[in-house]
Structure 1
Amino acid sequence: MAYGFTSEDVAFLRSGAGRAALLAASALPLTDATRISDVGAVRRSAGEPHAAAVLETVVLRRKSAAKLAGADEWLFTGDALQQASATPVARHRATRLAGLDVHDVTCSVGADLVELARVARRALGSDVDAVRLEMARHNASVAGVSPGIVRADALAPVSRGTVVVADPARRDSAGRRTWKPADFLPPLDGLVDAYPGRPLSIKCAPGLDFAIAPWAEEVELVSLDGAVREACLWRGLSEGVSRRATVLRSGGTQWTLTDAAPDEIPVREPGKWIIDPDGAVVRAGLVRHYAARHGLWQLDERIAYLTGDTPPSGVRAFRVLEHGPYNEKSLRSVLKRLEVGRLEILVRGLDIDPDALRRRLKPRGPAESTVVLTRIGRSPAVFVCRAERIPS
C-alpha cells in the first residue's frame, strides 16, 4: 500500500534537514537485499517520524525518471505519479494553450501545471488535496515557474475567463480502475456542467468510449514512443477538426494528423510492405487519412493494416517475404525452410492467440521474422515479413 503523506511530511522534506536526509537516502541501493540496512540508515538520518516519507520520496523520484523530465527534486504521492502525464505529453498539450489564461482544476502535484505555466499567459492550479497542493508549490518552485495555486473543488469554479484543464482520477473510491465517466473523480459530466461555455481540455483514458462525450468538439489521441498514452477531449479549441492523432517521440520529433486530411484510398493487392499505423492513428479512426498521406492502400477496408511499395520514413515497417492464405501447417513449413527461430506474431481481424500459436509452431533456427496474420475479405491471410526501421 502506498505511503500516505501528511502536510508535516511535506514541510520536513522541504526543510534543510529533509533535503539532507533525501540526499543521503538517494545514495542507498534500496534493494530487497539491503532493505533492513537501508531503513536503518534513513531512520538515523531523518528520524523515525519522517523516515517512511523520505524512503517513499526517493523511490518515487527514481520511478519518475522514466516519465518526467527534470523532476529529480520533486515531491510526489504514489497515486499522483502514476496518473501524471509524461512530460512530452504534458508539454504538447500545453503548447496548444500557449498565450492563454489557463486553470488546471485538478492540478495534483503539478506535472501538467508546470508545463502550462511555462507557456500560458497566466496559469492557475487548484485541487482539493492540501498535501498535493503543497507538493505542487514545491515542484513549481523547483521548475522555476510560479503559477497561482489555491485549494478548491473542481466542481466549484473559482476562476473566470480561463481555459479549464482537468485530469479526473479514473479509479473509484476503492482504488479500482473504472471506465465509467460517472465514477471519475470528479465525474466527467459534472466537470462539463460546472463550466458552461468555457473552453475545456479534459484528459481521459484512450480506451474510453468517446460517444459518452457529445459535448467534445475534438477527440485527440496521443502516443509517445509507440504507446498510446491518453485521449484529450477538447471544447472551444478544436480548430475545426473532430479527430486528431498526435505522435510524439522522446527525442523531440512529433507529427499530427486530423480528419481534415484527405482519406480517399484504394483497397488493392498487397504491396512490398505491411505497415501497422501508430496506435493513436488507429484509435482516432484516421487509418485511411494516414494511408492517403503516405501513398499507401488497404488490404481490407475493415482492417487497420496498410500496404504499399514505399513505407513512411521513421517507422517500423514489415518487408513482405512471402504471403498467401493462412494455414498453420503451411506456415510451420515456411518458417522451417527460412530457419526462423525468433518469431514476432501480429494479429488483426482473427481470433488467434499469438503466444499459443508461437508455442505450436515451435520455431527453431538463427533467423528472425515477423508474421502478420489478418483477414482479407472472409479469408485469413498470412504475411511472413522482415521488420525494418525506416530512416527518418
Structure 2
Amino acid sequence: MERAELVELLTPDGLTLIDQVGGSDADTDPVGTVSRLRAEGHSPALVSAVLTQVRLRRKAVGKFGEFASRMLFTEAGLEQATRLRVAALHAGRFSAAGLTRVADLGCGIGGDAMAMAAMDLEVTAVDADEVTATVASYNLAPFPTADVRHANAEDIDTSEFDGLYFDPARRTAGHSNTTRLTRPEDYSPSLDLVFGRAATQPVGVKLGPGFDRSLIPENCEAQWVSVDGQVVELGLWFGPLARVGGRRSALVLDGAGTHELTAPADSEDVAVREPGEFLYEPDGAVIRARLIGDVAREIGAGMLSPGIAYLTGDAEVATPFAAAFRVIERFPLDERTLKRELAKRDIGTLEVKKRGADIDPAVFRKRMALRGSKSATIVLTRVNGKHAALLCERIPRN
C-alpha cells in the first residue's frame, strides 16, 4: 500500500466503504463490484484500495480471527504479522515477568502490540515505515494503553521501558512483493543492537524458524513455534523473559490446544532400530529445537536411520509432537517397482514425504501416473542408511 492509497482509505467514506464491500459479493463478482462502485462516484484509486483491504481482511482471518474485520493491512505486513494466538503467548511472558512498559520495536501492523495492550500492558509500538506505522496506529486505536511512533528502532531511548520486544525486518523494504533477507547482518534493526540491548534489559526477539543456530546466544531461551503443523517462528527470550531451566523449547499449537517440550539443551538421539509397524514424523518445531530424542523416548521409538528425522516403533502412541503412520509395506526406492505396486493397490491419491532422498515429490508423483480410487502415503527415505520406500497409512489424530 502506498501513502496515497492510505490517505484515500483513512476517510469516513473510505472506511465505511470497506465495511460495505466486505459484506457484498466482491469475491464472486469483482468486475460487477468495481462497476457499481465507480457508478456511485468513487474514484478508481479508492475502489482499488478498498477491494485490496477487503481481500486482505478475509485472508487475515486465519491469523487474527474476528479482529481481522476491523483492521487495516499491507500485503507485506500481513505476511509477516504474528498470529494473534502466538502473540498472546508473547505478551503473557512480559506480564508473567511483571514488566508493564514494553517497547515493540519493529511492530509492523501491530499484531504483537495488540496482544500486549489487551493484557493491559503499556506498549509503545515503533516502526520505521510511515505507512506501516500509520496502519499500526489505526489497528491499535481501540487500546488506551497503546501508542505508536514512526521512528527507527535505533533512535528510541529504551531506558523509559522495562521490557523490549524486537521483530527485526527480515525482508526488503516495501509493502508488497518483498523478498526475504538471507543474511542476519542485513536485518533492521541489526542483531548486534538487539543482543546488545539484551545485555542490560529484558528482551524478546522474533526471528525466522530457519535462523542459524550457531548465532543463538548462550544466555537465552530459544523457542521454536509451530501452528497446525507449520513452523512459524523462533523466539529468543532474555533475562526474566526466559524461563528457568529451559534453554530449548518446541511449542506446538493445534486444534487440540497448546503443547510444549522443554529441555536444558539439545537432546541426544536414540539408537537406530529395525523398522516397526509404525512410523513417526516429529513436528517441525521439535526437529528445529533438536528434541527428537526426547519425543522418541516418550513414545518408546527408535531412529529409522542415522541423522534422519523419522522414528519407528512397534506400538501406536498418540503424541502432539509427531504425526503417526502405519507401515503397510517396504520397497526398494525404485520408480518402476513403486509405480507397479501403487497401480496394483489401486492408489490414485498419494501423499509423498521424503527425508534423506534427493527426490522432488511433485515430479515423483507425476511419474507414478496414478489412476486408482484409493489413497496412501509413501515415505521416500533411508532405513539404517539404505534408501527405501515405505508405503504407509496416515493415522488421524484424535
User: Normalising by the residue count of structure 1, what TM-score does the alignment of the two structures yield?
Assistant: 0.87
Distance in 2, matches of 1:348 and 1:140, equals 44
Shift of 1:223: 0.7
* Identity over aligned pairs, percent: 32
Where do 1:323-342 residues align within 5 Å?
323-342=330-349
State the partner residue of 1:199: 202
> How has the CA–CA distance of structure 1 residues 367 and 152 changed in structure 2, closer, same or farther, with 3 Å as cutoff?
same
Specify which of 28, 34, 40 is matched with residue 38 of structure 1. 34
**Residues 35-55 of structure 1 deviation map (CA, whole Å, 9 limit, x = unaligned):** 365165157365567444333
Partner SS state of residue 330, structure 1: helix
**Structure 1 contact 3–56 (Cα < 8 Å) conserved:** no
User: Aligned equivalents of 1:337 and 1:11: distance in 2?
Assistant: 62
Deviating more after overlay: 36-45 vs 113-122: 36-45
Quick one: distance in 2 between partners of 1:286 and 1:126? Answer: 35
SS in structure 2 at match of 1:67: helix
1:296 Cα deviation after fit: 2.0
Aligned to 1:312: 318
Equivalent in 15, 22, 25 of residue 21 of structure 2:
25
Structure 1 residue runs without a partner (length 5+): none
CA contact (8 A) 2:302 2:312 kept: yes
Contact 1:43/1:51 (<8 A) preserved = no
Farther-moved stretch of structure 1 (84-93 vs 31-40): 31-40
Q: What is the letter of the counterpart of residue 8 of structure 1?
A: V
C-alpha distance 345-353 of structure 1, shift in aligned 2 (>3 A): same
* Cα pair 2:330 2:388 within 8 Å, conserved: yes
Identify the residue that residue 55 of structure 1 maps to in structure 2. 51
1:94 and 2:91 equivalent?
Answer: yes
Structure 1 residue 320 displacement after superposition: 0.9
Task: Give the counterpart letter for 1:284 in structure 2.
Answer: A
Paired with 1:109 and 1:324, the residues of 2 have a C-alpha distance of 50
The reply on whether 1:209 has 2:216 as its aligned counterpart is: no
Hey, what does 2:125 align to over in structure 1? 125
* Structure 1 residues 45 and 252, CA gap change in structure 2 (3 angstroms): farther
Instruction: Judge conservation of contact 1:215–1:235 (CA < 8 Å) in 2.
Output: no
The equivalent residue for 1:246 is: 251
* Residue segments in structure 2 that go unaligned for 5+ positions in a row: none
Give the equivalent residue in structure 1 for 2:154: 155
Which amino acid letter does the alignment assign opposite residue 307 of structure 1?
T
Tell me how far 1:257 sits from its aligned partner.
1.0
Give 1:281 shift: 0.9
After superposition, the C-alpha distances for 1:61-86 in whole angstroms (9 at most, x for unaligned) are: 22212221212111222221221112
* Greater mean deviation of Cα atoms: 183-192 or 105-114: 183-192
Cα contact 1:204–1:232 (8 A) shared by 2 = yes
Structure 1 residue 345 and structure 2 residue 352: aligned? yes
1:360 is matched with 367
Over 3 Å counting, the alpha-carbon distance change for 1:19 and 1:252 in structure 2 is farther
TM-aligned CA distance change 1:145 to 1:114, over 3 Å: farther
Residue 31 of structure 1 and its aligned partner are, at CA, apart by: 4.7
Instruction: Name 1:66's counterpart in structure 2.
Output: 62
Rounded to whole Å, the distance in 1 between the matches of 2:49 and 2:219 is: 40
Which stretch has the larger CA shift, 114-123 or 67-76? 114-123
How do residues 363-374 of structure 1 correspond to structure 2 at under 5 angstroms?
363-374=370-381
Retained in 2: the 8 A contact 1:84–1:111?
A: yes
Change beyond 3 A, Cα 1:191–1:140: same
Q: What letter corresponds to residue 306 of structure 1 in structure 2?
A: L
Q: Does 1:256 align with 2:256?
A: no
Q: Distance in 2 between matches of 1:39 and 1:19?
A: 19
Counterparts of 1:42 and 1:215, CA distance in 2: 59
Look up the match of 1:278: 283
Deviating more after overlay: 118-127 vs 107-116: 118-127
Q: Distance in 2 between matches of 1:310 and 1:76?
A: 44
1:138 to 1:146, Cα distance in 2 relative to 1, 3 A: farther
Q: Which moved more, 1:319-328 or 1:104-113?
A: 319-328
Deviation at 1:221, TM superposition (A): 1.1
Q: Deviations over 1:335-376 (max 9, x none)?
A: 233222222221111112222222333333222111112113
CA distance in 2, matches of 1:367, 1:108: 46
| Range with bigger deviation, 269-278 or 151-160 | 151-160
Question: SS where residue 235 of structure 2 aligns?
Answer: strand
| Residue pair 1:227, 1:279 contacting (<8 A) in 2 also | yes
**1:221/1:232 contact within 8 Å kept:** yes
Q: Does 1:302 align with 2:307?
A: yes
Shift of the alpha carbon at 1:324? 4.7
SS at structure 1 position matched to 2:348? strand
SS at match of 1:165: strand
TM-fit CA distance, 1:234? 2.1
Structure 2 partner of 1:178: 181
| Structure 1 position 113, deviation (Å) | 0.3
Counterpart secondary structure, 2:68: coil
- Aligned equivalent of 1:384, options 378, 391, 395: 391
The worse-fitting range, judged by mean Cα deviation, of 290-299 and 225-234 is 290-299
Q: Residue 68 of structure 2 aligns to which amino acid in structure 1?
A: A
Aligned-pair distance for 1:116? 1.5
CA 108–362 in structure 1, closer or farther in 2 if over 3 Å, else same: closer
